[in-house]
A and B are shown apart, each in its own frame.
Chain A
Amino acid sequence: QQQVKQSPQSLIVQKGGISIINCAYENTAFDYFPWYQQFPGKGPALLIAIRPDVSEKKEGRFTISFNKSAKQFSLHIMDSQPGDSATYFCAATLNSGGSNYKLTFGKGTLLTVNP
């Protein structure tokens, strides 16, 4: 059972454009939603994260939009740069008491930003 569904699988954007990656989750118990960025040969690195009590979080060029009723969240990368070219993973975890905080990941989106 895939608990976090991510789309698109790949995305090509021109420099300066907006990159949008979408995720949907099934487990309503999830209460923390991080996005990870992974470059080839590296482990995933936390990019930005959101809790379900807010609908949007912005950090620099990166914004998460969260729709609790639809069980969907998305990553927007504004003014996309070639250096943003990487694989992006959405994830979800339980943040409640006693949680082991294990992450459930989407399948990833390979973003290519053309110069």
Chain B
Amino acid sequence: DTGVSQDPRHKITKRGQNVTFRCDPISEHNRLYWYRQTLGQGPEFLTYFQNEAQLEKSRLLSDRFSAERPKGSFSTLEIQRTEQGDSAMYLCASSLAYGTGTYNEQFFGPGTRLTVL
């Protein structure tokens, strides 16, 4: 399977704990996006990377959230001091962006469902 993969698929944690999620994009894709999806809502943009550079962060991404994409390959999303409001599905997507003016499909992974008790 050469699609976007995410690990773990499910994570249950206690409030105040730190969690880290991993996303492995499609190998040749240079763009990687993180979205958050809560129950009954559409995905909301969190941040994106062009290769290893993090180029934009949403206001939704508080200081407790940090994302990295070392070497422009896989990415990690860490949430420190989790709160119950962090409970959501965290989706990763990747795309191949050649440059300006052309949208290339974002392929989504299956997501990591986080439950904060």
Contacts and interface: CB of A to CB of B under 8 A. Distances in A.
Nearest to A44: B108
Interface of B is mostly: loop
Contacts of B101: 95-97
Interface residues of A, number: 29
Contacts of A103: 33, 35, 43, 45, 106
Interface in B64-117: 91, 93, 95, 97, 100-111
B28 to A, nearest CB: 17
A79 to B, nearest CB: 25
Interface in A1-53: 4, 6, 32, 34, 36, 41-46, 49
A93 B103 contact: yes
Given A32-B103, A43-B111, A46-B105, A101 B42 contact: no
Contacts of B97: 101
A114 B47 CA distance: 38
Contacts of A98: 100
Given A32-B103, A102-B45, A107 B109 contact: no
Interface of B: 4, 31, 33, 35, 40-45, 48, 55-56, 91, 93, 95, 97, 100-111
6 contacts: A49-B103, A89-B43, A93-B103, A101-B104, A102-B45, A103-B35
Interface of A: 4, 6, 32, 34, 36, 41-46, 49, 89, 91, 93, 95-108
